Structure 1
């Protein structure tokens, strides 16, 4: 029986991938992608945007399954995730449930009855959410920016970034649209070099995403001030704008609008 839900499988073992595809077909699901590399999956995600993601923890390439789902969650994607792994690492399992908001953890070898139970639970959650509210639009075509997060390299969708501020010589703080913040050892120039022109440096020590700018005004309370301040969606924080950059900023903002 077809359910009308799409599935992407990220699995670096060919035979396990084929088994999961067969299970999906038996459950009436449409498999739209099977890939083994996490970075490749992130690049393709905008074209896929599956309802359900079957994610292996151990993958080919630089990113493991946990890092891939973290990147998607930080970038605002809310697909349902079923983690699939042969790990007995308790930390990985707890991370899958508490940090990644996965609905199920399937241990390898994956048996059909447990797979069916995971799918039933996942579909029930999707249907419940759809009955409560109309679906919010998914983020648009993503430009992925890779930042250093502790000892790993973590991709983040540019659209998900609200602004970035330099904390000290070694750390930057990235503020995200969903209210989350993360420290990164990537400096502002590294982030800017990977970005589209929508990321702009309005003042020393800051980057701002023009997509999320509401307005900018002359700094109040200081009659002699040469600065402006930028108002953003999703936050009450005001970002400084140099007077020397005001005209360039206004032009770019108009192009975005």
Structure 2
């Protein structure tokens, strides 16, 4: 059986809300909160930390997409991973789908939602969310690598200037210092840059 998810439902129509609750529980998941409007959805997402949110697109106050945007902003500001979201609408609208994609919604359902459709949407949503996480990690790895390269080049330039070294000699000096101190090359580069800054004051 798939992982039991803690789910927040944001739906202002009682009949639809109960239908989603029953379907989720039949699929083995736990409903940990119910929001009747967008503002409540934002608050409960922060308080309950669900694994998944089912968000009706048309609700009193702020709409579902705006609520998702605010939830993501709050979590990113707190250094947390965003929560995967399935948007639910009364009709199919490509503009809504496009808006939903822009704020990080991973699946889209049209009412009335049948249990089998919900099961598939959850699987699709979680698979896309995992892909998003991997892409994010890869982006961070590339970003960190480029930053490290810039710092190493800067430190190499400092050694060349201060010790009258050629480029390959400066690089070997960096590598030797990295080995001798058992520190990463980028950490040695940061130390050299900081020492140069202090000497230049």
* Alignment TM class, shorter chain as reference: 0.5 to 0.7
Give ranges in structure 1 of 5+ residues lacking alignment.
135-257
Higher relative contact order (CA 8 A, sep 6+): 2
Q: CA deviation at 1:129?
A: 7.4
Larger of the two Rg values belongs to structure: 2
> Where in structure 2 are the equivalents of 1:34-183 lying within 5 Å?
34-60=34-60, 62-77=61-76, 78-97=82-101, 99-125=102-128
Judging changes above 3 Å, is the alpha-carbon distance between structure 1 residues 128 and 25 closer, same or farther for their aligned structure 2 residues? farther
Give ranges in structure 2 of 5+ residues lacking alignment.
77-81, 138-201
1:76-127 deviations in whole A, cap 9, x for unaligned? 4510000001133321121112x12211100011122211101122344556
Number of residue pairs the alignment of both structures matches: 132
Alpha-carbon RMSD: 2.5
Alignment partner, residue 12 of structure 2: 12
1:155-207 deviations in whole A, cap 9, x for unaligned? xxxxxxxxxxxxxxxxxxxxxxxxxxxxxxxxxxxxxxxxxxxxxxxxxxxxx
Give me the TM-score of the superposition, normalised by structure 1: 0.46
Judging changes above 3 Å, is the alpha-carbon distance between structure 1 residues 119 and 131 closer, same or farther for their aligned structure 2 residues? same
* Greater share of residues in helix: 2
Judging changes above 3 Å, is the alpha-carbon distance between structure 1 residues 21 and 91 closer, same or farther for their aligned structure 2 residues? same
For residues 88 and 74 of structure 1, the distance between their equivalents in structure 2, rounded to whole angstroms, comes to 26
Q: CA deviation at 1:74?
A: 2.5
For residues 102 and 10 of structure 1, the distance between their equivalents in structure 2, rounded to whole angstroms, comes to 14
For residues 2 and 15 of structure 1, the distance between their equivalents in structure 2, rounded to whole angstroms, comes to 27
Q: Contact 2:106–2:129 (CA<8 Å) still a contact in 1?
A: no
Tell me, yes or no, if structure 1 residue 21 matches structure 2 residue 24: no
Q: Contact 1:82–1:104 (CA<8 Å) still a contact in 2?
A: yes
For residues 28 and 132 of structure 1, the distance between their equivalents in structure 2, rounded to whole angstroms, comes to 29
Q: Contact 2:8–2:45 (CA<8 Å) still a contact in 1?
A: no
1:213-255 deviations in whole A, cap 9, x for unaligned? xxxxxxxxxxxxxxxxxxxxxxxxxxxxxxxxxxxxxxxxxxx
Q: CA deviation at 1:12?
A: 0.7
Judging changes above 3 Å, is the alpha-carbon distance between structure 1 residues 31 and 85 closer, same or farther for their aligned structure 2 residues? same
* Greater share of residues in strand: 1
Give me the TM-score of the superposition, normalised by structure 2: 0.58
